[in-house]
Amino acid sequence: MNVDVCVIGLGYIGLPTAAMFARHGYSVLGVDVKEEVLEKILADGGPAEEPALASLVKGALSDGSLCLGGKPEPADVFILCLPTPLREDKKADLSFVENGMESILPFIKKGDMVILESTVPPGTTEGLIAEMVRGKGFDPCGDLDLVFAPERVMPSNILEELENLDRVMGGLTPGAAERARDLYAAFVKGRIVLTDATTAEFVKLVENSYRDVNIAFANELAVLAMGFGIDIWEAVTIANRHPRVNILYPGPGVGGHCIAVDPYFIIEKSGGSARLMAEARRVNDSMPENVVAEAERLLGDLKGRKVAVLGIAYKGNVGDFRQSPSLSIIERLEERGAVWKAHDPHVTSSPVPLVSIEEALEGVDLIIVATDHNVFLELDPDELGEKVAARKILDTRHILKRNEWESAGWEFQYLGDGKRA
Ligand code: SAJ
């Protein structure tokens, strides 16, 4: 097979990117070092929560425009879509990107383009990536086109956003950025903005940090609202009617592998200057503790009390539990000696034991709604009331209708509603 584009890493960005290029006239090789990832793609096409992606992948596989393999092959363009997790010391773990680069170096030839999509600290493309190709005898600005082209898609709406969002292409040279723009224009309908690689890396991190800081502001307001005796949801909704105010919403904390992680990639390189971002991280990380404090206010001492945690995923309608606040809530309930049970219909393999909704609610003293899954909107307060020991519920996501629960005799509390506290 003559490969135009070789995509390294077939996770939630690599797979849709590979499939999109394949469906738009390119011959694509998708590479993943994990055999089980390749097997799963061959069997299902893609993740269950992205049905459109699964059918796109299946189509590309069946007409041969997309092939899968465990190793790269020579190609004109290499795209790295590898994870960059946060290490224990809150710094970026670039080992997957380094390994990915190592794997393509033997296949790179003069004139090829290498594109990094993984989220990385500012300076990584100009530093680490350029250094690695230099080590192979290439001039990173003359022999090759090196580009940082961050993904921006929202898990659960990937294909739509991959096509329609604006993109930024940061080249080591202006020519490299232009070449990447011409490539992605095959399927990107949004505007493609060109800049240098370090600016593009910074922009990616700033987008998620902006959201983290905004959510931290909302979370701080929620804590203040409890003291002032006001309902933060009412207050934010009213404030947001101002044309230049757009506060996000409080919750049990910020999870996921993007927003809860990316600010650290700036913080680690800031020499202590990224004070606001660091504080926002602390505020958001303190929210699970506030949830448990609220549970204590509703129940008193938590020792031996039965608590149901509904939702392990970091946000609604996805099965991803990375950095999920629910896990911190559970850890804290455990520390306080509470007897907890957890339920999440979207999570298939979980780091904590999960049970059915019936089992989770049986004889509990308190329900904590920790994730905004749509299925929780269908919970029937009358029916649930029969199962629990005490009709008490703490909705940390503001998704349930208080009236319905109160008229069924429940003590109902939204996180951040100081009018009821
Ligand atoms: N959250 C709140 N309050 C809000 C909004 C969100 O507490 O008002 C919480 C969510 O419950 C969740 C966390 O924040 O725990 C993050 O969720 P999210 O939906 O805001 O974002 P992610 O992490 O799923 O995806 C983000 C997106 N970035 C932006 O919106 C700027 C996405 O576009 C990025 O592509 C993705 O990160 C990424 O891969 O970087």
Residues 353 and 411 in one domain: yes
Residue 253 lies in a domain: yes
Q: Decide whether any atom of ligand 1 lies within 6 Å of the 371 Cβ.
A: no
Question: Can you give the pLDDT at residue 258?
Answer: 94
Measured between alpha carbons, how far is 381 from 384 in angstroms, rounded to an integer? Answer: 5
Total structural domains in the chain?
A: 2
Cα angle 363, 366, 372; round to 5: 115
Residue 195 lies in a domain: no
Residues 186 and 212 in one domain: no
Question: Can you give the pLDDT at residue 54?
Answer: 92
CB 219 within 8 A of CB 236: no
Q: What CATH number has the domain bearing residue 28?
A: 3.40.50.720
Question: Can you give the pLDDT at residue 46?
Answer: 85
Question: 201 C-alpha vs ligand 1 centroid, how far in Å?
Answer: 18
Residue 420 lies in a domain: yes
Question: Can you give the pLDDT at residue 121?
Answer: 98
**Which atom from ligand 1 is nearest to the alpha carbon of 155?**
24
Residue 387 lies in a domain: yes
pLDDT digits (tens, 9 = 90+) for 369-390: 999 999 999 999 999 999 999 9
The best mutation among 164, 167, 258 to test binding of ligand 1, ranked by most ligand atoms within 8 Å of the C-beta, falls on 258
Question: 213 C-alpha vs ligand 1 centroid, how far in Å?
Answer: 12
Residues 33 and 167 in one domain: yes
Under-70 pLDDT residues of the chain: none
Residues 24 and 107 in one domain: yes
Measured between alpha carbons, how far is 308 from 363 in angstroms, rounded to an integer? Answer: 10
Q: Decide whether any atom of ligand 1 lies within 6 Å of the 40 Cβ.
A: no
Residue 269 lies in a domain: yes
Measured between alpha carbons, how far is 49 from 318 in angstroms, rounded to an integer? Answer: 7
* 204 catalytic per annotation: yes
Residues 123 and 238 in one domain: no
**Which atom from ligand 1 is nearest to the alpha carbon of 161?**
33
Q: Hey, whose CA ends up nearest to atom 35 of ligand 1?
A: 152
Residues 156 and 221 in one domain: no
Measured between alpha carbons, how far is 292 from 331 in angstroms, rounded to an integer? Answer: 10
Residues 170 and 119 in one domain: yes
Q: Decide whether any atom of ligand 1 lies within 6 Å of the 153 Cβ.
A: yes
Q: Decide whether any atom of ligand 1 lies within 6 Å of the 155 Cβ.
A: yes
Confidence (pTM) = 0.94
pLDDT digits (tens, 9 = 90+) for 295-347: 999 999 999 999 999 999 999 999 999 999 999 999 999 999 999 999 999 99
Q: Decide whether any atom of ligand 1 lies within 6 Å of the 292 Cβ.
A: no
Residue 198 lies in a domain: no
Residues 320 and 175 in one domain: no
Q: Decide whether any atom of ligand 1 lies within 6 Å of the 154 Cβ.
A: yes
Residue 125 lies in a domain: yes
Measured between alpha carbons, how far is 66 from 206 in angstroms, rounded to an integer? Answer: 33
Measured between alpha carbons, how far is 212 from 355 in angstroms, rounded to an integer? Answer: 31
Residue 196 lies in a domain: no
Structural domain ending residue among the three candidates 136, 162, 190: 190
Residues 208 and 276 in one domain: yes
* 6 catalytic per annotation: no
Structural domain ending residue among the three candidates 144, 164, 190: 190
Please tell me which residue in 258, 315, 341, 392 is annotated as part of the active site.
Answer: 258
Print the domain residue range for 294.
203-421
3-state secondary structure the chain: CCEEEEEECCCCCHHHHHHHHHHCCCCEEEECCCHHHHHHHHHHCCCCCCHHHHHHHHHHHHCCCEEEECCCCCEEEEEECCCCCECCCCCECCHHHHHHHHHHHHHCCCCCEEEECCCCCCCCHHHHHHHHHHHCCCCCCCCCEEEECCCCCCCCCHHHHHHHCCEEEEECCHHHHHHHHHHHCCCCCCCEEEEEHHHHHHHHHHHHHHHHHHHHHHHHHHHHHHHHCCEHHHHHHHHCCCCCCCCCCCCCCCCCCCCCCHHHHHHCCCCCCCHHHHHHHHHHHCHHHHHHHHHHHHHCCCCCCEEEEECCCCCCCCCCCCCCHHHHHHHHHHHCCCEEEEECCCCCCCCCCECCHHHHHCCCCEEEECCCCHHHHHCCHHHHHHHCCCCEEEECCCCCCHHHHHHCCCEEEECCECCCC
Residues 292 and 369 in one domain: yes
Structural domain ending residue among the three candidates 133, 161, 190: 190
For residue 382, give both structure tokens: 């009358």
Residues 210 and 186 in one domain: no
Residues 146 and 221 in one domain: no
